[in-house]
Structure 1
Amino acid sequence: MKLTTFSLFLFCVLQLPAAAAEETARLTAPGISVSDKNFPWQLVVDRGKILGCVYDNKFYSLGAILILESLPRKCELASDRNGLWEQLSEAELLLLQENIQKQQAVQQEATYIGQEPINDEEARLIRYLRSAKKRAESQ
């Protein structure tokens, strides 16, 4: 159970946008509006309980991470099967910060050459050249 939770946490952390590092009231994902009629709610409702967390009238799945005023929280399942926003442990917090820094570096590398920003076509060309180089090195 711990390994599944950790792998879900790790998946969510790796999905954090670079903007998550800003110390503002931002969410890592837009969430799903609670009033959305198109969402298949039968997949996340068990015996009348929503298996996830609600914040600001939006649904977040278990393991989702919320960054609010620089206080990260994760969606956990309480003993009564209600979603609950809990604080990250110190190890998870360090992992989160490390992954945010890595993602910022990747974002910087993908959109800048030195201090100059690049456009989409230039970024696409650079990604292609890097992937071609990796393929050539592996062969």
Structure 2
Amino acid sequence: MAFATASNPIAEEGIALNNSSFPWQLVIDRGKILDCIYDNKFFSLGAILVLESLPRRCELASDRNGRWELLPETELLAWQENVKQQAMQREATYIGKDPITEEEARLIRYVRRVKAQAEKEN
């Protein structure tokens, strides 16, 4: 599922279709693909991907083909909040691409708190 479980909070890569080991028998029913394809990659039902700058979810249409549909307003808000939380979590535990230890994170939080307090006093 392409969503917050990915290392990228926006979208997971999906499964490349040009790999000969792709298990088509699991996703084709009477000639219909039961999931979504985008950019020559396979995404399961319920996967969320950013298309045209908006997140879309892979849903099953009435003709049993997967298609990308806009998220309802409530789910869009929840998705945006999830992205913000992941960004904050990543900021708190990484410097650039390198993970930091708990002690380093504690020191950074302390320095930020002291800086904010000094700014309030001035």
Does TM-score exceed 0.5, indicating one fold? yes
- Residue segments in structure 1 that go unaligned for 5+ positions in a row: 1-10, 21-27, 131-139
Q: What is aligned with 1:52?
A: 35
**TM-score normalised by length of structure 1:** 0.65
1:119/1:67 CA distance change after superposition, 3 Å: closer
- Residue segments in structure 2 that go unaligned for 5+ positions in a row: 107-122
Larger helix percent: 1
> 1:60: Cα distance to partner?
0.9
Per-residue CA deviations over 1:26-48 (Å, capped at 9, x if unaligned) read: xx111122222112221112222
CA distance in 1, matches of 2:4, 2:98: 25
Q: What is aligned with 2:74?
A: 91
- Tell me, yes or no, if the aligned pair for 1:18 and 1:103 is still in contact at 8 Å: no
Q: Write the letter of the residue equivalent to 2:89.
A: V
> 1:97: Cα distance to partner?
0.3
Secondary structure at the aligned position of 2:36 is classed as: strand
| Aligned partner of 1:72 among 45, 52, 55 | 55
Secondary structure at the aligned position of 1:99 is classed as: helix
**TM-score normalised by length of structure 2:** 0.73
Secondary structure at the aligned position of 1:100 is classed as: helix
Calculate percent identity across the aligned residue pairs: 50
CA distance in 2, matches of 1:19, 1:43: 27
Per-residue CA deviations over 1:52-101 (Å, capped at 9, x if unaligned) read: 11111111110111102321111000011000110000001000000000
Q: What is aligned with 1:126?
A: 102
Secondary structure at the aligned position of 1:14 is classed as: coil
CA distance in 2, matches of 1:118, 1:35: 30
Task: Point out the structure with max Rg over C-alpha.
Answer: 2
Q: 1:1-139, aligned counterparts within 5 Å?
A: 13-18=3-8, 20=10, 28-112=11-95, 119-120=98-99, 123=100, 125-126=101-102
Q: Write the letter of the residue equivalent to 1:78.
A: A
RMSD: 2.5
CA distance in 1, matches of 2:19, 2:32: 17
